[in-house]
Amino acid sequence: MAASASSSLISSRSPIKLTSLSSLRWKLPVSVSLPRHQRRRASPVFVVVSMDAKPTVLVAEKLGEAGLALLKDFANVDCSYNLSPEELCTKISLCDALIVRSGTKVSREVFESSGGRLKVVGRAGVGIDNVDLGAATEHGCLVVNAPTANTVAAAEHGIALLTAMARNVAQADASIKAGKWQRNKYVGVSLVGKTLAVMGFGKVGTEVARRAKGLGMHIIAHDPYAPADRAHALGVELVSFDEAIKTADFISLHMPLTPATSKILNDENFAKMKKGVRIINVARGGVIDEEALVRALDAGIVAQAALDVFTVEPPPKDSRLIQHENVTVTPHLGASTMEAQEGVAIEIAEAVVGALRGELAATAVNAPMVPAEVLTELKPYVTLAEKLGRLAVQLVAGGSGVKSVKVSYASARAPDDLDTRLLRAMVTKGLIEPISSVFVNLVNADFTAKQRGVRISEERVILDGSPEKPLETIQVQIANVESRFASAISESGEVTVEGKVKDGVPHLTKVGAFEVDVSLEGNIILCRQVDQPGMIGTVGSILGEENVNVSFMSVGRIAPRKQAVMAIGVDEHPSKSALKRIGEIPAVEEFVFLDL
Ligand SMILES: NC(=O)c1ccc[n+]([C@@H]2O[C@H](COP(=O)([O-])OP(=O)(O)OC[C@H]3O[C@@H](n4cnc5c(N)ncnc54)[C@H](O)[C@@H]3O)[C@@H](O)[C@H]2O)c1
Ligand SMILES: O=C(O)[C@H](O)COP(=O)(O)O
């Protein structure tokens, strides 16, 4: 049954070993062939597709052969290049994954057109500004990228543009091919001793700095998020944005395109630069206001620019910027070396195949990343969290809207040592999936809860003792609702369930004020009765007669011969008549069947 399959998770960006988590894959299909209710029960926290049928991967831009071979071993691969937006939207409903470079816009329409089938978008490169991340998250679609394989290629291209620009290589080449010999016109500038400002001291920026140092340049860098010690280790000084652009002879751009960096080089900032500054851009065209750059070139503030990327790609043929004689351009070639493209193809193919298999995604862009060792430890608690969510919501009476949920984690660990994002996502999944048609995973859990107006707060209860286990108990409480099983309401008025992990197996240990102990491996019947001899036998025999296997029974009572709650774990779904017979036992005051 579904409960035997566990959940698949997401990890940190650092390379990780997945073997210990391979058992986390869901075996049940989530493909279109299954009835909806079964699909919901089988849906993992993270991904993805049927392990029975081959998934389909649409490769929408050219990808290196080694990557294609990896994909073909696992999936049906449809290589369709140069699709129009309409064609992409039509095809996508038949695809489980999509792989693109920077030339394909993966817009909201693409996610909407996929009808929920698209589960992974792989960006074969770094920049994900062509993917609508918000829409991906809302649709529970994981976005992965290949952030490392083209770093050196981009840095080398930056240096190529820097040196070619300084010595007018492109212009002189065009001139000589036009039959001219203009030695005086193409006198260049030297690099040694000049100041280069690296804007964005990430992977590419760092490699550019390293190489430019070898050319004898003085390097400064601006990056609000880069650690100063990494810069110092390379002999690079981190400075403010203004200081960087005011003092540099050369400015090389290496930041992502974000709302904060969009058109960051504009009229106002060009006016602050040294007259005769030279600009290199191998990041994204949109970080420069291109019209302002033309004005700065015309005014002589910017002596030269070397650009690999443009706001619109390809740029209009008659663009003044492209045609400007002091501008050197290449058609977004930064990542285009044989080596980088093979590397990127392998990196993205591995990420996409892994994600489709339900393994950890080390390069997830739109999901919280939880380190692999934390995941291994949290695995049984992840299942517990989902089951408690499922139980709690089924205890709510129809018509009561679930709006306010509190999840309490009791642990001897220091709060910083326990990452609860994954557990919160799983409680959310458990709460929402039984009452909706939404597929909830780690990618879209917070969004889905917010969209449905469910506020999930978290509380840490710090326990004394040794913090060997990550958690002692997880408690889920739903406030301001009525319950189908009155005994599930705690003294403080919330539907309350609590559980713990025993020998690696999740157990329900509390319902309302009643302590019980039942393994959360099958389904559960909760009965409130007057505590008296023979009750376990009576209920057990009814279930036996109805061919329902009882896996666990536990009774929690207020006091002997007073009210008690019996929790019965059952392997099968009892028939209506079995449940009716239990309800008719005179001592039974209320009962509920809970589907896990
Ligand atoms: N031309 C190409 O073919 C090509 C190839 C590879 C990468 N790129 C582009 O280069 C850029 C850098 O890639 P990367 O792999 O080094 O990414 P990265 O994430 O490793 O580095 C980006 C750095 O920019 C910094 N940053 C963010 N906001 C900033 C701001 N407002 N000011 C200054 N710095 C800021 C970040 O802190 C980070 O350190 C990206 O835009 C990427 O798309 C282009
Ligand atoms: O962000 C990147 O990785 C580069 O811009 C490369 O883009 P490309 O894959 O379209 O060459």
Each residue's pLDDT tens digit, 130-158:
999 989 988 989 999 999 999 999 999 99
Identify which of 223, 253, 262, 310 to mutate to test ligand 1's pocket (most ligand atoms within 8 A of the CB). 223
Examine the pLDDT at 586 and tell me if it is beyond 90. no
Examine the pLDDT at 34 and tell me if it is beyond 80. no
Residue 362 CA to ligand 2 centre (angstroms): 19
Ligand 2 contact, 127 CB (< 6 A): yes
- Told to judge if 139 belongs to the known catalytic residues of this protein, a careful annotator would answer no
Ligand 2 contact, 101 CB (< 6 A): yes
Most confident segment among 57-61, 547-551, 552-556: 57-61
Q: How confident is the model at residue 329 (pLDDT cuts 50, 70, 90)?
A: very high
Examine the pLDDT at 19 and tell me if it is beyond 60. no
- Least trusted range by pLDDT, from 77-81, 287-291, 382-386, 556-560: 556-560
The single residue of 332, 424, 507, 557 carrying the catalytic annotation is 332
Residue 204 CA to ligand 2 centre (angstroms): 12
Examine the pLDDT at 161 and tell me if it is beyond 80. yes
- Atom 9 (ligand 1) nearest CA: 283
- Least trusted range by pLDDT, from 28-37, 263-272, 433-442: 28-37
- % residues pLDDT > 70 (the chain): 88
pLDDT, tens digit, 9 for 90 and up, residues 198-246:
999 999 999 999 999 999 999 999 998 888 888 999 999 999 999 999 9
* Average pLDDT over every residue of 67-95: 97
Residue 125 CA: nearest ligand 2 atom is 3
- Atom 38 (ligand 1) nearest CA: 202
The residue type of 42 is A
Examine the pLDDT at 42 and tell me if it is beyond 60. no
- Atom 10 (ligand 2) nearest CA: 102
- pLDDT at residue 85, as a whole number: 97
Q: What angle do CA 330, 336, 340 make, to 5 degrees?
A: 150
The single residue of 101, 117, 222, 284 carrying the catalytic annotation is 284
Residue 156 CA to ligand 2 centre (angstroms): 14
- pLDDT at residue 469, as a whole number: 87
- pLDDT at residue 370, as a whole number: 64
Examine the pLDDT at 407 and tell me if it is beyond 70. yes
Q: Which residue has the higher pLDDT, 504 or 530?
A: 504
Residue 308 CA: nearest ligand 1 atom is 1
Task: Please state whether the peptide bond connecting residue 365 to the residue before it is cis, i.e. omega within 30 degrees of 0.
Answer: no
Q: How confident is the model at residue 182 (pLDDT cuts 50, 70, 90)?
A: very high
CB within 6 Å of ligand 1 — which residues? 126-127, 147, 150-151, 154, 199-205, 222-226, 254-257, 260-261, 282-284, 308-309, 332, 334-335
- pLDDT at residue 555, as a whole number: 83
Tokens 């993966």 correspond to what residue? 106
- pLDDT at residue 558, as a whole number: 63
Q: Measuring CA to CA, how many Å separate 503 from each of 308, 387, 409, 461, 580?
A: 58, 17, 19, 22, 34
Residue 150 CA: nearest ligand 1 atom is 6
**Cα torsion angle, 497, 502, 504, 505, sign:** negative
Tell me which residue of 288, 283, 259 sits closest to 273, measured CA to CA. 288
- Told to judge if 284 belongs to the known catalytic residues of this protein, a careful annotator would answer yes
Examine the pLDDT at 39 and tell me if it is beyond 70. no
Structure tokens at 328: 């050197």
Q: How confident is the model at residue 439 (pLDDT cuts 50, 70, 90)?
A: confident
* Average pLDDT over every residue of 166-180: 98
- pLDDT at residue 415, as a whole number: 79
- Least trusted range by pLDDT, from 19-28, 171-180, 516-525: 19-28
Q: How confident is the model at residue 482 (pLDDT cuts 50, 70, 90)?
A: very high
- pLDDT at residue 530, as a whole number: 81
Task: Please state whether the peptide bond connecting residue 29 to the residue before it is cis, i.e. omega within 30 degrees of 0.
Answer: no
Q: Which segments of 14-131 are extended strands (E)?
A: 56-59, 76-79, 97-100, 120-123
Q: What is the CA radius of gyration of the chain?
A: 30
Tell me which residue of 537, 427, 534, 414 sits closest to 474, measured CA to CA. 427
Ligand 2 contact, 284 CB (< 6 A): no
Give one DSSP letter per residue of 407-437, joined into a string: EEEEESS-GGG---HHHHHHHHHHHHGGGSS
In degrees and rounded to multiples of 5, residue 419 shows phi and psi of: -90, 115
Q: Which residue has the higher pLDDT, 295 or 419?
A: 295
- pLDDT at residue 18, as a whole number: 24
Tell me which residue of 460, 468, 451 sits closest to 424, measured CA to CA. 460
The single residue of 313, 325, 339, 482 carrying the catalytic annotation is 313
**Which is it for strands 563-570 and 550-557: parallel, antiparallel or unpaired?**
antiparallel
Structure tokens at 592: 């509920």
- pLDDT at residue 561, as a whole number: 63
- pLDDT at residue 32, as a whole number: 25
Q: How confident is the model at residue 48 (pLDDT cuts 50, 70, 90)?
A: very low
Q: Which ligand is nearest to the CA of 101?
A: 2
Examine the pLDDT at 255 and tell me if it is beyond 90. yes
Average pLDDT of the chain, as a whole number: 87
Query: Does ipTM come in above 0.90?
Result: yes
Ligand 2 contact, 358 CB (< 6 A): no
Examine the pLDDT at 5 and tell me if it is beyond 80. no
Structure tokens at 99: 């792989």
Residue 201 CA: nearest ligand 1 atom is 39
- Least trusted range by pLDDT, from 65-74, 108-117, 344-353, 399-408: 399-408
- Told to judge if 332 belongs to the known catalytic residues of this protein, a careful annotator would answer yes
Residue 102 CA to ligand 2 centre (angstroms): 5
pTM: 0.73
Residue 336 CA: nearest ligand 2 atom is 11
* Average pLDDT over every residue of 457-485: 92
- pLDDT at residue 368, as a whole number: 66
Q: How confident is the model at residue 279 (pLDDT cuts 50, 70, 90)?
A: very high
Give one DSSP letter per residue of 262-298, joined into a string: TT-B-HHHHTTSPTTEEEEE-S-GGGB-HHHHHHHHH
* Average pLDDT over every residue of 475-504: 95
Assess contact for 440 and 43: CB atoms under 8 A: yes
* Average pLDDT over every residue of 107-113: 98
Ligand 2 contact, 104 CB (< 6 A): no
Q: Which ligand is nearest to the CA of 198?
A: 1
